[in-house]
Every structure is written in C-alpha cells, then in structure tokens.
Amino acid sequence: MTTPMPHAANISFKGQRQPVGYYDGYYDDNHSENLARLAPSLENACHHFAKIAAPYLYITDDEHYNQVLTSIEALLEKASDSPADPLNAIIEMLTGAVEAYENKEDELAAFEKRATDGAADLAMVRLLMDQRDLSMDDLPEIGSKSMVSRVLSGERNLSKKHIQALSARFGIDPGMFF
C-alpha cells in the first residue's frame, strides 16, 4: 500500500540539520529501491555542483579571491536570516574557502597576525594604517610621530580623545577600538 507522507528535506548548516523544504513524494514498501534509483541523480547533481563551484571553493589567486568576496557580498544581501535558507549554506562554504586561502597566503597571514596582536585599540590603528597605507606621520589625531610610535609599540594607550578623533576621521564607531 502506498501512503503519501510529506518529508522534510534538510541541509547541514553550522553543524546542524536544518529543514529547507518538503518532499511530497510517496513512501511505500519499495522505499529503499526508490532511494537506490535516486542515488545516481544525486551523485550527478553533486558532481555538477562541484565542477561549477570549484573556482569559488578552491581559491588559487587574488582574482578568484576578489570574485568570491564579491559573490559573498551579493549572497549576503539576498539570503534571509533563517538557517533554512540554502544560500546560507553556500555562504558558509564560500567563507570557508576564503579563510583557507587567507591562511595559505603568507602576506595575508602576516597582516592578520599584526592586526590582531595586542589590544583592540592597537589592532584597530594597525588595521587602519595597513588598509590606507598610512605612516606614523599620517596620524596627527594621536600626536607626534614619536607618540604614534609609542602607541604602536604598546608603550602608551590611546586616550578617549585619540579614539574620538580617529573615529571621526575614518567614519567608524568608537566601539571598534575596544
């Protein structure tokens, strides 16, 4: 006897199975046979996806890296906040590829280490300097070149006044320094 039974389709998102839709097929005594017939189609779909997604999932150069970042931005705007949205699974795969590429690249790894070493305020100043190719002379909000040097070496901390001035200049929230 064949009985219709709606079946939730799931994807893995952040290590948890999440429903993404429903399969309104029929389960019957031949359920295993039906799955066996479906397996080659699923395998073909997976191979097709892997072939199309390979340049995005295995980043080899800066051009592909920038394309993937642009794709992630576009997907973030389209995806809903629901973990059931299949776009979120794709975003997660792409961000994993970006992270792997960034960790592989010595220059990016060195930049990340410099940016994250020490206190948050120091990391933010280093990040701003690296992103905008600034020298110690280019930060009058902190003071003289020697004062900037003392801040960067960890000898001095940024004051509230420094943080307010840097936030205003670069258009960022003062909370980014904490």
Of the segments 72-76, 84-88, 107-111, which one has the largest average pLDDT value?
Answer: 72-76
pLDDT in tens, 4-31: 444 444 444 455 554 444 444 444 556 6
The reported pTM is 0.42
Lowest mean pLDDT among 103-107, 156-160, 173-177: 103-107
pLDDT in tens, 110-122: 777 766 666 888 8
Alpha-carbon distance 49 to 89, whole Å? 13
CATH code given to domain 107-177: 1.10.260.40
Backbone angles phi, psi at 19, to 5 degrees: -70, 140
Mean pLDDT for 32-39 is 73
Alpha-carbon distance 11 to 19, whole Å? 7
Tally of CB atoms within 10 A around 166:
21
26: which strand partners?
4
Which residue, chain included where needed, has tokens 């999932």? Answer: 57
Q: What percent of the chain has pLDDT over 70?
A: 78
More confident residue, 172 or 6: 172
Look at residue 16 in the predicted model and tell me its pLDDT.
53
Cβ-based neighbours of 165, under 8 Å, separated by 6 or more: 141, 142
